[in-house]
Amino acid sequence: MYQLTDRDLATILAALRHWQATVNDDERNAFPHFYEDIEPLSDEEIDALCEVMNTETVAFRP
């Protein structure tokens, strides 16, 4: 199992925050190859995800 490094986590958090700050809700659907069967996260959900990633151990599903 791959464990995220501090650099990995920092990059992911920066990308999430950049996405949140620069892409509006309508544009999030402009990436259909990432969201074929799922809904993109809302700003509030990104906030919650970043909070979890900053404060807890994160396990990824295989």
Sign of the dihedral defined by the CA atoms of residues 27, 33, 39, 43, in that order: negative
pLDDT at 47: 94
Tell whether 60 is covered by a domain. Answer: no
pLDDT at 54: 86
Tell whether 13 is covered by a domain. Answer: yes
pLDDT at 4 over 70: yes
pLDDT at 59: 63
Tell whether 28 is covered by a domain. Answer: yes
Q: How many domains does the chain have?
A: 1
Distance (Å, whole) CA 22 – CA 5:
26
**Full residue range of the structural domain in which residue 15 is found:** 6-55
pLDDT digits (tens, 9 = 90+) for 7-62: 988 999 999 999 899 887 777 777 777 777 888 888 999 999 999 888 876 665 55
Tell whether 62 is covered by a domain. Answer: no
Tell whether 21 is covered by a domain. Answer: yes
Query: Do the beta carbons of residue 47 and residue 19 sit within 8 Å?
Result: no
